[in-house]
Amino acid sequence: MEKSIFIVLAGRTFPAISSAEGDYEDWIGAGLGSSLPQQVLSAWDSPEFPSLTEVAGVIVSGSHAMVTDRLPWSERLGAWLKSCVQADIPVLGICYGHQLLAHACGGKVGNRAAGIEIGTHQIELTAQAIDDPLFGNMPQQFPVNLVHFQSVLELPEAAQLLACSAAEAHQAFRIGNYAWGVQFHPEFSAAAMEGYIQQVRLNHSADALACATATATPEAGSLLRRFGELSKSLA
């Protein structure tokens, strides 16, 4: 039986965005391409997660929940992700998934002292990214789309820092051989990012929103295709 990439939903986008642009699984699935079969599951509706023998790779989406709430479904998902890391199954945690992966593997997650980070911002790769299986051959600097109130405050002890920015110390990391967390959203289009800015602006007056902009981020988006190809090569 051919293994699948599992897109694990940790939440949903705003209805106003999904009605016009689709939702996390649509964007992630499109970015992955057709390298492997894809299966989508909702973490909060999954009392058990798939057997590792079925899994070629895992992508965990963003969420409007907070890792520090330690919701039961989130803690179960974190334990499963840790088992995937230990089995060398490729994992890509996006935003909430990035934070949950760090939490599950011994890192520390918490609120950003500066408040929300939102919009398109530049990140810079570290020297450790040069030979990384996912980030290798990427530009040293490229734009990414972000929206988050919490961050990885401390990486797991064994993690390799792969990217940072002026406002965020831990934009991307790898733990083990094939498990990555990215604070940014490689799946976001400019329209999705603009939708988030509009929705968050309705409820928050943070200074970050005053100058938030949204642009396309093709370099960041290419990480999804790269992850799909890597997962297929290891399956």
Burial class from Cβ neighbours inside 10 Å (0-12, 13-18, 19+) for residue 151 reads buried
Query: How far apart, in whole angstroms, are the C-alpha atoms of residue 70 and residue 32?
Result: 29
Q: Determine which one of 95, 98, 103, 121 is catalytic.
A: 95
Number of Cβ within a 10 Å radius of residue 145: 27
Catalytic, 64? Answer no
β-partners of residue 106 are: none
Query: How far apart, in whole angstroms, are the C-alpha atoms of residue 39 and residue 152?
Result: 28
Q: Determine which one of 98, 148, 170, 185 is catalytic.
A: 185
- Say which DSSP state 166 is in: S
Catalytic, 2? Answer no
Show Cβ contacts of residue 192 under 8 Å, excluding neighbours closer than 6 positions.
13, 17, 21, 27, 145, 185
Catalytic, 95? Answer yes
Query: How far apart, in whole angstroms, are the C-alpha atoms of residue 143 and residue 122?
Result: 4
* Contact call for residues 162 and 125 (beta carbons, < 8 A): yes
Q: Determine which one of 25, 117, 168, 187 is catalytic.
A: 187
Query: How far apart, in whole angstroms, are the C-alpha atoms of residue 119 and residue 215?
Result: 8
Looking at the annotation, which residues are catalytic? Answer: 95, 185, 187
